[in-house]
Amino acid sequence: MGFRLSKIYTRTGDKGETGLGDGRRVPKDHPRIEAIGEVDSLNSQVGVLLAGLVAQSVEHPGLKEVIDVLAPCQHRLFDLGGELAMPEYQALNALEIERLEAAIDVWNEELGPLENFILPGGSALIAQAHVCRSLARSAERRCQHLNALEPLAGVGLAYINRLSDLLFVVARVIARRQGVAEILWQAAGKPGA
């Protein structure tokens, strides 16, 4: 991809439209732009999570492995945004999905079975991982909505789905590596009890 931004503002979007990589102009609330925006929001929050992991990795060296798995995800999310902006462009491949699945499998072996629902929290890093997980689900819904209108090629839908799974497991791994107890969901008591 050789295109680079040389000017940040162009004034071409002042009337509520934006350009896609294929030259089309679409409204800024077009499902394709909504999907791109959700992927971008997710990528930004993954950046916040990674910054926190790096800051905590000195005190908790086990977080380095999480950083190594997550850092490439920012690049792949940028690739996914590129695929959404330029429908003919394909950057993601099945190897990336396999990489995420391999990490999930290894970490699930370490964690053991989940016996209760868990809540986002316990530490700022755990909560941030859950923010990323929920944004991944939101991005997936936006991409699925777009796919229903304009079928998407490639493995982007599978990638974003698997990334949300990974982020759930990441939250649990962070808890374990930080030595923080997960917050278990407690059902509301029965009325009158």
Which pLDDT belongs to residue 1?
47
What letter represents residue 31's amino acid? P
The token pair at 85 is 């902006």
Closest C-alpha to 83, from 91, 72, 93, 95: 91
pLDDT digits 0-9 by tens, 39-60: 999 999 999 999 999 999 999 9
Task: State the fold for domain 27-184.
Answer: Hypothetical Protein Ta1238; Chain: A; (1.20.1200)
Q: Cα torsion for 60, 124, 66, 171, to the nearest 10°?
A: 120
- Confidence class for position 28, pLDDT limits 50, 70, 90: confident
pLDDT digits 0-9 by tens, 79-99: 999 999 998 889 999 999 999
Query: How far is 157 from 182, CA to CA, in rounded Å?
Result: 29
Query: How far is 117 from 183, CA to CA, in rounded Å?
Result: 9
> What is the domain partition of the chain in residue ranges?
27-184
pTM for the model stands at 0.89
